[in-house]
Structure 1
C-alpha cells in the first residue's frame, strides 16, 4: 500500500510506481530521456550577439558598406595615376571622363584623387576621435562611480561644466590658430574628443554603480586586487557592449563635426584635404559644375549611412529585448 502513487525518478523524469506492476525502466520511457548534443549545447554571449547581428540584413549591409569605404580610403588612389596634389593643365573644370573619373576642379586637380584623400582624412579623424572619446568616457565614468568621494564630485563638476561650454567656438578658435602646422590634425582630434565624452561618461557612471557591488567585484576587492585592475578586468568588460556601440556611432558624429568645422574653415586647413573642405570648395560651383560638389557629398552621405546602420545593428544585437535584432 505504501508504494501506491509513489514517484521514482528515471533518467531525470518522474514515473509513477503503481502497486502490483513493475516500475518503468529507461527503455520503457523511450527516447524522451535522451538529449542530443545539439539541444544541450549552450551558446555564449558572443555567439548570440554575432548571430543576432548577422541576421539583421540592414546591419550586414551597413558593415559591408563601411568596409568598402575603408578599402576605398586606403587603396583608392592605387587605381588612378593622379594624386590629390597633381594638376592637369589641359583639363580645367573638365566633366567626368575616362581620364578623370570624377572630373577636375577649377585648378585642374583630379576630383577622384581628392575624394580618396578627403575620405581617408575624415575617416581617420572620425575613428581616432571615437576611440579617444569613448576611452576617456570609460575611464572617467567608471573611476568616478567606483572611487566616489571627492573624485566623483570633481568628475561630475567637470562633466557639467564641459556640457555648457560653447565647444564649437573653442574648437574653431584653437584649430584656426593651429592652421596647417605640423600636428594640427592631432590637435583637432584631441579637441573634438575633449568636448564629446561627457554624456557617455554619465551613462558609464550609472552602469558602474550597478556593477561595482556585485559578488565577484567584492571578492576581488577582498583579495586586495588593485582598484585599476578591478575596473579594467571586472567592471569595464560588463559594460563593453555599451562602449562598442557608443564608439561605432561616435565615428559618424565625429565625421559630421569635422565636416561642419572644415566647411566653415575652422577644421582641417589647406593644404590638408577632408570631405568638409571639398564640399566647401564645391558648393560655390554646385549648380554650374556639380561634380565637384556631388562626389564628396555622396561619399559623406554613404559613410554616415553605413556607420549609423551598423551602429543600430550592433545595438539591436546586444540588447536582448530588441525586436529588430532577430532571434539568436
Structure 2
C-alpha cells in the first residue's frame, strides 16, 4: 500500500469526529451523575460568591470599622469582624478567590508538565528517558512541604505567582510516570507509526497524537490536583509560608481565626466551612469525571 499525503490529514479528521462523539457522551454521562452535578453546582455557587460577594459588600478588604472589633455577625458585618475591625465576609470572599485561582493554576501547570515530561520520556526512551525519570525520581523523594517552606519566604517579594510555580513544581511526578507508561503503548499504534513514516517530527507527533489520546487521564488528574493544591496552599499559608499579607487566602484566614475559634467562632468557622465545601465539590466532580470516562469503574462501584 502506498502512503499518500492525504492520510495524515484524514486521520486527525476521523480522530476529531470520534473525539467529539466521545466527549459528547462523557458530558451526557457526567450530567446524569448525581454527585458530579452536586459538585458542579457547589463550585458554581462558590465562584459566584467569591467574585460577586466583594462587589455587594459595603466594606472594602482593607477597610476597618473602629467601632466594631471582633464583633459577631450583624446586618452591618455579615460574617462579623476580626481583631482590627476588618469585615470577615469581604476577607473570606477574597480569600476564597485566591484559593480557587491558586488551585486551578497549580493543577493546570502541574498536569501540563507531567504530560510533556512523561510523553517525551516514553516516546524517545534511551538517554532521554533515563534523564527525565532521574529528575522525576529525585523530585519524588524530596520533602516538598519542607522545601516550599524554606524557599518561599526568600521569594515572597515576587508575589503569589511564584508560590503557584513552586507548588506546581512538586505535583507532577506521579502523573508523569503514568503518562510515560501510556506513551510507550500509544507510540506503537497505527496512526503514530503512519505519521512517523511520513516524516512528521517527533515533537509534533507527541503533541498532536500522543498527548490528546491521554486527555481523559489528564483531565481527571488535573481535577484531583486542584483539591491537592488547595489543601497544600492552605497548609503552607496556615504556618505562614504561603500567601503573605496584604493578600489573604483561606489558609491565612484559618491561621488568623484558629487561636480564637472558641471565643470568636465567626473568625474561624466561615473560612473553614468554605474550604471544606470547596474541596468536597472538587472531589465530587473528579469522581463524576472518572465514572463518566470509565463506565466499567461506575459499574464496579
Give me the TM-score of the superposition, normalised by structure 2: 0.91
2:186 to 198, 211, 215: 211
Kindly indicate whether the alpha-carbon contact (under 8 Å) linking 1:175 and 1:184 is maintained by their aligned counterparts in 2. no
In structure 2, the residue matched to 1:261 is 236
Judging by fraction of residues, say which structure has more helix: 2
1:245 corresponds to 2:208: no
Q: Work out the CA distance in 2 between the residues paired with 1:185 and 1:112.
A: 22
Q: Work out the CA distance in 2 between the residues paired with 1:135 and 1:46.
A: 20
Kindly indicate whether the alpha-carbon contact (under 8 Å) linking 1:260 and 1:276 is maintained by their aligned counterparts in 2. yes
1:220 to 195, 209, 216: 195
Deviation, structure 1 residue 324: 5.6
In structure 2, the residue matched to 1:291 is 266
Deviation, structure 1 residue 84: 1.5
Q: Work out the CA distance in 1 between the residues paired with 2:274 and 2:66.
A: 26
Q: In structure 1, list runs of 5 or more residues that go unmatched.
A: 1-42
In structure 2, the residue matched to 1:55 is 32
1:279 corresponds to 2:254: yes
Q: In structure 2, list runs of 5 or more residues that go unmatched.
A: 1-19
1:126 to 85, 90, 103: 103
Kindly indicate whether the alpha-carbon contact (under 8 Å) linking 1:316 and 1:325 is maintained by their aligned counterparts in 2. no
2:90 to 113, 120, 133: 113
In structure 1, the residue matched to 2:5 is none
Deviation, structure 1 residue 210: 1.0
SS at match of 1:322: helix
Q: Work out the CA distance in 1 between the residues paired with 2:178 and 2:159.
A: 31
Q: How many residues of Structure 1 are paired with residues of Structure 2 in the alignment?
A: 282
SS at match of 2:175: helix
1:323 to 287, 294, 298: 298
Deviation, structure 1 residue 68: 1.4
1:66 corresponds to 2:40: no
Structure 1 residues 311 and 130: alpha-carbon distance in aligned structure 2, compared to 1, 3 A threshold: same
What RMSD in Å do the two structures reach over aligned CA positions? 1.4
How do residues 5-84 of structure 1 correspond to structure 2 at under 5 angstroms?
A: 44-84=21-61
CA radius of gyration, larger in: 1
Structure 1 residues 324 and 259: alpha-carbon distance in aligned structure 2, compared to 1, 3 A threshold: farther
Kindly indicate whether the alpha-carbon contact (under 8 Å) linking 1:95 and 1:291 is maintained by their aligned counterparts in 2. yes
Give me the TM-score of the superposition, normalised by structure 1: 0.84
In structure 1, the residue matched to 2:155 is 178
1:159 corresponds to 2:136: yes
Structure 1 residues 85 and 61: alpha-carbon distance in aligned structure 2, compared to 1, 3 A threshold: same
1:143 corresponds to 2:124: no
In structure 2, the residue matched to 1:193 is 168
In the TM superposition, structure 1's runs of 4+ consecutive aligned residues that sit over 2 Å from their partners are 322-326
